[in-house]
């Protein structure tokens, strides 16, 4: 059964894990995102195989409204398409921490973000 939720446990919030992710994680780019990921043995909550975080630069988007919109649209696109990656990781019993940093200077529309997130999910499936 597909679940289209994006719960609190799926969000990457652990400061320690985020620091480790940026220090030791692998990265790739799918414009307009920079994706940093790290295979982990244990996540703080084991119910979900992936914890994900989203970010938009305050230098490129000085207004919080714009940053929040980018993150909201990105989370929505992730929420609708994450199930394929979750199934793949469950089958291999692996865990992953992912952070997506928005790098464009303009706010993209939802259809563009939706497509780019699908590319990112496929790349995460094949690279990990």
26-77: pLDDT as tens digits? 999 999 999 999 999 877 667 889 999 999 999 999 999 999 999 999 999 9
Name the residue with higher pLDDT: 127 or 79.
79
Our count of domains for the chain comes to 1
Look at residue 3 and tell me if it is in a domain.
no
Q: Token pair 């094949």 is at which residue? A: 126
Burial of 8 (0-12, 13-18, 19+ CB in 10 A): exposed
Structural domain range at position 56? 10-127
98-107: average pLDDT: 97
**H or E stretch at 110:** helix 110-127
Look at residue 5 and tell me if it is in a domain.
no
Look at residue 42 and tell me if it is in a domain.
yes
Look at residue 100 and tell me if it is in a domain.
yes
CATH number where 66 lies: 3.30.230.10
Indicate the pLDDT class of residue 85, thresholds 50, 70 and 90. Answer: very high
């Amino acid at each position: 059964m597909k679940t289209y939720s994006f719960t609190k446990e799926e969000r990457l919030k652990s400061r320690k894990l985020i620091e480790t992710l940026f220090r030791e994680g692998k990265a790739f780019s799918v414009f307009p995102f920079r994706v940093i990921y790290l295979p982990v043995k244990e996540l703080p909550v084991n119910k979900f195989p992936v914890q994900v975080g989203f970010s938009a630069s305050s230098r490129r988007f000085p207004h919080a409204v714009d940053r929040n919109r980018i993150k909201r649209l990105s989370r929505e696109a992730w929420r609708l398409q994450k199930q394929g990656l979750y199934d793949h990781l469950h089958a291999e019993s692996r865990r992953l921490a992912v952070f997506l940093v928005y790098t464009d200077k303009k706010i993209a529309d939802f259809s563009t973000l939706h497509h780019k997130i699908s590319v990112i999910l496929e790349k995460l499936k094949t690279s990990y």
